[in-house]
Chain A
Amino acid sequence: MSFLVPCPNCGPRSVYEFRFGGEIAQPRPALDAPEAEWQDYRFSRTNAAGVQTEWWFHWSGCRQWLQAVRNTVSNEVLETFLPGEKRN
């Protein structure tokens, strides 16, 4: 694993500067949602073989959480943005 992540604050940096935060999950269920829904939320992942959006934390850089669109097969990072920023 040696790909680059283009941090929106710091520019392209080695992936070793980042901590992986997992794929961006489905929305958090309501508190009174059925147990199965909560279990699905907590334990099930899409684990896509292809493009998915993920959380990354720039640990050795700006120390910000960011979101990245990454192809999990080629490890190409197509796009990154700060959470809440409007995507193109």
Chain B
Amino acid sequence: MNFYFHNQLVEAKPGDTLAAALYRNGQRIFSRSFKYHRPRGLFCVSGKCPNCLMNVDGAPNIRTCITPVRDGMKVKSQNAFPSLETDWLSITQRFDWLMPVGWYYKTFTHPAMWHAVEPAIRKVAGLGEVFPSRTSEYEHAWMHADTAVIGGGWAGMQAAVAAAERGEQVVLVDDQPALGGELRYQKRAGKIPTDLIEQIQRTPNIQVLQDSYCFGLYEGNLLGVLERTPHPTVAERLVHLRTRQTTVATGAYETPLLFPNNDQVGVMLSTGVARLLHVYGVAAGKRAVIVGSSSTAEEMSVDLREAGIEVIAVVDPNEVVKAIGSGRVKGIQTRAGNFSCDLIVVCGPRVPDAGLVAQAGGKLEWSDAHGAFLPTALPAHVSVVGAAARETLANPGTPLPSSKRAFVCLCSDVSSKDLCDSIAEGFDHIETLKRYTTATMGPCQGRMCQLSAIGVCAHETGRSIANTGVTTFRPPNPGVTLGALAGPRHHPIRRTPMHYAHEKLGAVWMDMGDWKRPRYYRPHGATNEAECVLSEYRAVREAAGLIDVSTLGKLDVRGTDSGKLLDKVYTHRFSDLRPGRVRYALMCDEAGVILDDGTISRLDNDRYFVTTTSGNLDFVHQWLDWYLVGTGWDVHITNVTAGYGAMNIAGPKSREVLGKLTGCDLASGAFPYMACRETKVSEIPAVLLRIGFVGETGWEIHCPAECAEALWHALLEAGQEFDIRPFGVEAQRLLRLEKRHVIVGTDTDALTNPYDVDMGWVVKLEKDDFVGKAFLSHAAKNPSREHLVGFVLQGPGVPQDGAAVVVDGQPAGRVTSSRHSPAQQTAVGLAWVKTSKAKQGESIDVRVDGKLARAQVTMQPFYDPEGLRLRQ
């Protein structure tokens, strides 16, 4: 297996991670640090520190020490120029006195200054670059189990087997490529328990998620699990794992010791050295000095000697003065003298990895006896086993005096001196210290630095560690890519039954919720949107137009009490509507605020056909259901939106077009305005509603969805001799605006009542009771402060939606809709103004193209104010 590191071919052995293969091939510097661009090498070798982050196949910040090699991978370093070995920006170390902790807060206090330097700082400081052009596939999966065990070490495997023997379905989540936990590399701990691993693999009710980590334990015992290599076609898979019981067996991890130059290349955690040696067969160095006081240090010494690594000395942490070398370790200075070496093995404190427990609501309390924060007050559904519950602390050494500088936070280059300075500035609470210095907030999420930071804070403030406390644990930890959280790139799209007919007609699409609707049609050769819309407009005003309105919400309401329900929920009366008639329907809440509008047709005594606005269908359906709850009324509401296609034919020629296809008498005497009929059009069963949103003679036609495309074609064909045109949403908006018809949610807002928009006629206050009656009775007599009016602009230009209305130099309202009106030969629109201005002929100023333009208020439609054309 081979991969490329900066275009150089690197050979890897089976089972190698990228970092192991690079190390074996002599690479020692793996990254440059965040702020000072100090060289950094392998440190934890377990994916817990930030030192090995690289760009792999275009993905930034990949932890190469836990990423298995695949043939042909392309690996590059990050945050270093021109190379890892020679990074020009390491010069920043010389100026660290210019950049104390929080220096950018103190230096760039003026916003203009910050904006000037921000790009440079962002370029210099930081992690990998994101390339927006790179795409990867991600998956989501949902799993359910009785018990989840997090951690595939000895304790986790035991817990999984025990639960399985109780007959439970078990999911075992292990972040390593193979089961065994620390037994895979800690020789002193024992041999890899092959029997136990085989037993787990044989047990049908244990499912193992290998190479997967749990990043969050959420309420309802939901675990967020990331599978790093589920299968070759996806980058990662996020598993929503729901369980009854969670057993945390995440073990303990080793953390650094503080001494000057403790971040140099060649300083490595003892567990990292052991992993390199026993998992990958790589010797971390030739001449080692071990820093540690416990038996661990002695055992490490034996381990290294057996592997042929020369152990120069074992030094107590309190004896260490500093590591010697410039960037790379050349030796170590101790109180007992100097030793020359190329590897400093740090046996640091081992911290129980109990963050998941804290996320789930458990507490971490300091135990002097164990020298660790141990999980207590566990929630009922969470248990902790193994080292995560009880690991003991190796001697962390005495924290450094504040004059000495050791790196506490490897992620963002925060030193012990920085922490001491911040405490001196007053940030002496562990949580404020964290926020001010960003220690524990980097990619390692505190795994490397939290205990040291607490130690320094406790020492410097003179408080005990117990009183200093621990910072809050929050998911996700470890970090998760945004791609994995976002999941597959699926976006639901709803297409109307006539979608492909529109496509052939050259539709230019717009999104309305999930729906795709033609905004306008671009016939062959046409390019200009305004011209296309204008010709669609002309067709409707002068001949005939056809628009797809299938997106309207459609509800079939049946039962003997249907009228009673509609009377209750809508402002108008529907129980007295005669079969074969239609009424405009307005729905308000108890405060009289307009929620939705539509039409209600009575098809039969006990059968109503209700339409709603496209976006509000679900809401209206739930609202009706809610008012039905507990009444015992005989009403059945069915959502038939997808079952019906709908189109609106409108224009002076529409009667002639439609008349060619139906036997239904369309003459105004037989089929007047606001009437409805169930009939057949072109042999297709259809409901015809004679209504006129666009202000011309017209019919809204509802028919079974599977016939809608055929009916659409039939109408266009029948209308050919009359120059019928399909029209889109943009022309419809212009046509309705000329009629001053309001669009709920566009022209109205969360405070609008019907009286504010001159729709008091829809509110039947004489009805016994209905939703909003109490408030609307009040509103009928007490006008609101603002009123929606029409306006006609006196000059050129068209105000944008939302443009300001100004009266006497004072802000006095806003425009909600405006278009150039062919009927008025100037811009017209709807605007909210002070109620005192809501009179015919009042003058207001409207902002157009950055200047104020005079406009005349009108309380009438801009087109056909008497509504004669509708009724023709």
| Contact yes or no, B625 A3, CB < 8 A | no
- Is A50 interfacial (CB-CB < 8 Å)? no
CB neighbours of A83 from chain B (8 A): 629-630
- Is B590 interfacial (CB-CB < 8 Å)? yes
Q: Contacts A19-B622, A65-B625 given; indicate if A3 touches B774 (C-beta within 8 A).
A: no
Which of B218-226, B388-396, B457-465, B600-608 lies at the interface with chain A?
Answer: B218-226
| Contact yes or no, A75 B626, CB < 8 A | no
Q: Contacts A4-B220, A75-B220 given; indicate if A55 touches B626 (C-beta within 8 A).
A: yes
| Contact yes or no, B219 A31, CB < 8 A | no
| Contact yes or no, B629 A38, CB < 8 A | no
- C-alpha gap A31/B773 in the complex (Å): 8
The smallest beta-carbon distance between B590 and chain A, in angstroms, is 5
Chain A residues 36 to 88 lying within 8 A of chain B, measured CB to CB, are: 38, 41-43, 55, 57, 59, 63-65, 74-75, 83-84
CB neighbours of A21 from chain B (8 A): 626
- C-alpha gap A63/B617 in the complex (Å): 14
With beta carbons under 8 angstroms apart, the residue of B219, B589, B618, B630 that contacts A2 is B219
| Contact yes or no, B774 A33, CB < 8 A | yes
- C-alpha gap A3/B590 in the complex (Å): 31
CB neighbours of B591 from chain A (8 A): 42-43
- C-alpha gap A33/B220 in the complex (Å): 43
Nearest opposing residue in chain B for A74, CB measure: B219
- Is B511 interfacial (CB-CB < 8 Å)? no
CB neighbours of B781 from chain A (8 A): none
| Contact yes or no, B622 A42, CB < 8 A | no
With beta carbons under 8 angstroms apart, the residue of A2, A41, A55 that contacts B218 is A2
Per-residue CB contact flags for chain B residues 313-332 toward chain A (1 = under 8 Å, else 0) read: 00000000000000000000
Nearest opposing residue in chain A for B589, CB measure: A42
Nearest opposing residue in chain A for B220, CB measure: A3
Q: Is the interface of B mostly helix, strand, loop or mixed?
A: mixed
| Contact yes or no, B590 A41, CB < 8 A | yes
- Is B123 interfacial (CB-CB < 8 Å)? no
- C-alpha gap A75/B379 in the complex (Å): 14
| Contact yes or no, B774 A31, CB < 8 A | yes
| Contact yes or no, B774 A29, CB < 8 A | yes
Q: Contacts A29-B774, A84-B630 given; indicate if A75 touches B625 (C-beta within 8 A).
A: no
Nearest opposing residue in chain A for B632, CB measure: A84
| Contact yes or no, A3 B219, CB < 8 A | yes
- C-alpha gap A21/B625 in the complex (Å): 12
The smallest beta-carbon distance between A44 and chain B, in angstroms, is 12
CB neighbours of B220 from chain A (8 A): 2-4, 14-15, 75
CB neighbours of B590 from chain A (8 A): 28, 38, 41-42
| Contact yes or no, B775 A42, CB < 8 A | yes
Chain B residues 573 to 608 lying within 8 A of chain A, measured CB to CB, are: 589-591
- Is A1 interfacial (CB-CB < 8 Å)? yes
CB neighbours of A4 from chain B (8 A): 220, 242
- C-alpha gap A35/B219 in the complex (Å): 42
- C-alpha gap A2/B589 in the complex (Å): 30
- Is B71 interfacial (CB-CB < 8 Å)? no
The smallest beta-carbon distance between A39 and chain B, in angstroms, is 9
Nearest opposing residue in chain A for B778, CB measure: A35
Chain B residues 212 to 249 lying within 8 A of chain A, measured CB to CB, are: 218-220, 222, 242
The smallest beta-carbon distance between A2 and chain B, in angstroms, is 4
The smallest beta-carbon distance between B535 and chain A, in angstroms, is 43
Given contacts A4-B220, A59-B618, A63-B625, 13 further A-B contacts (CB under 8 A): A1-B219, A2-B218, A14-B242, A19-B622, A31-B774, A31-B777, A35-B778, A38-B775, A42-B589, A65-B626, A75-B219, A83-B629, A84-B629
A sample of 14 inter-chain contacts (CB < 8 A) reads A2-B220, A4-B242, A14-B220, A31-B777, A38-B590, A42-B589, A57-B625, A59-B618, A64-B625, A65-B629, A75-B220, A83-B629, A83-B630, A84-B630
